[in-house]
Amino acid sequence: MRQETEWGYIDWEYLPDPKNPKRWFSVGKTTILPGKRQPPHVHYGYEQFLYVLSGEVDTKFNGVEEHVSAGDYFILEADTTHECINKSSKPYCELLVTNPIPREPERDLYAENAVYEYMSDPELASKYRRRLNSAAENLKNSIARDVSIPFCLFDASDSVVLKNDCYSAWCRQKCDPVNAPRSCACYQRSVADSGFESGSGAASDGTRSYTCSYGVSLYLLPVIHNGCLAGVLRGGQHWSSGASVLADSAGGDPRLLKEDLPRYDTPYATELSIEKTLRRIVSSLQRYMDILDSMEALSMQKAELNSFMEKNSELERSLSTVEEKVTNLKIDHHFLFNTLNCLADLSLNGDRMALYQSIIDLSKLFRYTMAQTEQIVPLSREIEYLRSYLNLQKLRCGDSLFLSYDIDPTCLDTPVPFNFLQPIAENAFTHAFIGFDGKKKVDLKVKTVRKQTVITISNNGIPPKAEDVDRISLSWASGSGHGLSFIYDKLRACFGEDFDMRLSITKQRPPVTKVTVTLPK
């Protein structure tokens, strides 16, 4: 595929496939004709490799001048500024390999053929504006640090929520998008006129492209929350000879397009990188808004439980039921805060699959604790819940935490009390690993011993004093209300005296702390 430009052309040999998330990078042969100049431009994307095939040019990388010729090659970091001029009488040719922003599955951003409604309820519209503003406020530092593409985020009422100043000289000469975005030719369309949904039930296919009256192209991406249009991200301004339109057809002055201003004819692969970067911003905003919803739902659930506890405090049986629900719903605030910070950072800097899996793990925690009504569950479900919790701990700790699982599959159907494993593992992070500087390790072993299921959770953190081990095990059985005694109470309610739960410390050095639970199969 050949892309003609004002300064030459690019023969694209390999391009990303929108339908194939495993096909990301682009390969092309760039040709700059004699006497032509590539204006200053930014190489959007993670990194690019350039190899000079023939000819010679004077070039600048981030303002540093160089004369390059056949055989030279360069590895460019993301957002490198580049310009060059071919003063020779022969064409200049280079091999271009670029690895753009990783592509995310479309279903993660927009549902296929979805219908996006405008919010007619003023109270709901106000709530979603607050959601969008909160998400933008919490993510703005990461976006400002990592994104050098111009953009402006509007809410559904056309108010500016977030913007940057990364506009080209061309845009700055024509408009004032930084200080007066509403007067910019690119941003004069209202959200209602952006072509996503006007309440008529029309389906949206996600990203829209638009060319302003000065021939500058940009992308418009809806920010969707719970099926409603919460805002629109507009940005990625660039010029392309293949996509530009006449100014008079857009109501502008035709003479403006003929002025001799420095414009860079944007390669197709760069256009893809620009769009993907904007989609990454929208994805981060939407996910953060979903997390805020989950936090609000959890807060409301806790408030309802607290109210229920106060009204029924005089009834011992009802109180016991409510206390158990509170225990099951309890997610440590510090753990949740640290997890949300990790997710926000991953949304712009990290592995896409790691971010996706972490959000799934967090949703599993909420779903399991809030939706579960049974008091007895199979051991397999408890292990799945524990894995989600430990995966999120590893997201925060990284390589400093090692997890291992050794599970006898014949034990997975063992009936166990709801939510009894995770608090045992959490105890390692709230006690044993506090002040522990070494590599942390948590092991889960499940095996069959004499027709019984034996479950052991161990850690290599700071152990309790040897003289306290027996005292701690006795305090669990006495129902003291301290430590893991509520887990012991759950086991006793399910199995009577036909179980065992004990604490032990190995004699090896360094010592390992173990909590072992023995249950009937």
Helices (H), 147-265: 169-174
Residue recorded with tokens 């071919």: 86
Q: Which two tokens stand for residue 33?
A: 């004709």
Query: Are 236 and 275 contacting, i.e. CB atoms less than 8 angstroms apart?
Result: yes
Yes or no: say if 464 and 433 are a contact pair by the CB < 8 Å rule: no
**Could you tell me the sign of the dihedral formed by the alpha carbons of 73, 78, 84, 90, in that order?**
positive
Angle at 497 between CA 492 and CA 501, to 5 degrees: 65
Q: Which residues pair with 233 in a beta bridge?
A: 153, 221
Going by C-alpha positions, the residue among 23, 104, 161, 407 that lies closest to residue 277 is 104
| pTM of model > 0.75 | no
pLDDT for res 253: 45
| pLDDT for position 331 | 56
The domain made up of 331-520 is a member of CATH 3.30.565.10: yes
Strand blocks (E) in 120-279:
151-155, 160-163, 208-211, 217-225, 228-238
Specify the long-range contacts of residues 202-206, CB closer than 8 Å, at least 24 apart: 202/115, 203/113, 203/114, 203/115, 204/110, 204/114, 204/115, 204/116, 205/110, 205/113, 206/106, 206/109, 206/110
Quick one: tokens of 47? 């990194």
Question: 404 exposed, middle or buried (CB, 10 Å; 0-12, 13-18, 19+)?
Answer: exposed
CA torsion, ordered 56, 60, 66, 72, to nearest 10 deg? -60
Indicate where the chain has its CATH 3.30.565.10 domain(s): 331-520
CATH 2.60.120.10 domain position(s) in the chain = 2-99
Distances (CA, A) of 496 to 290, 482, 490, 500: 42, 20, 10, 10
| Residue 382, Cβ density class (10 Å: 0-12 exposed, 13-18 middle, ≥19 buried) | buried
Please tell me the class of the 2-99 domain.
mainly beta
pLDDT under 70 in the chain at which residues?
18, 45-46, 100-120, 190-206, 241-263, 312-341, 343-346, 350-351, 368-374, 479-482
Give how far Cα 123 sits from Cα of 119, 156, 286, 295, 371, Å: 9, 13, 20, 19, 28
Residue 204 is predicted with a pLDDT of: 44
Rounded distance, CA 425 to CA 230, Å? 40
pLDDT at residue 374 in the model: 67
Residue 21 makes CB contacts below 8 A (sequence gap 6+) with 103, 104, 105
Continuous segment of H or E residues that includes residue 505: strand 500-505
**Which residues lie across from 430 on neighbouring strands?**
none
What is the pLDDT at residue 172? 84
Alpha carbon of 132 to those of 23, 127, 135, 204: distances in Å?
32, 9, 5, 20
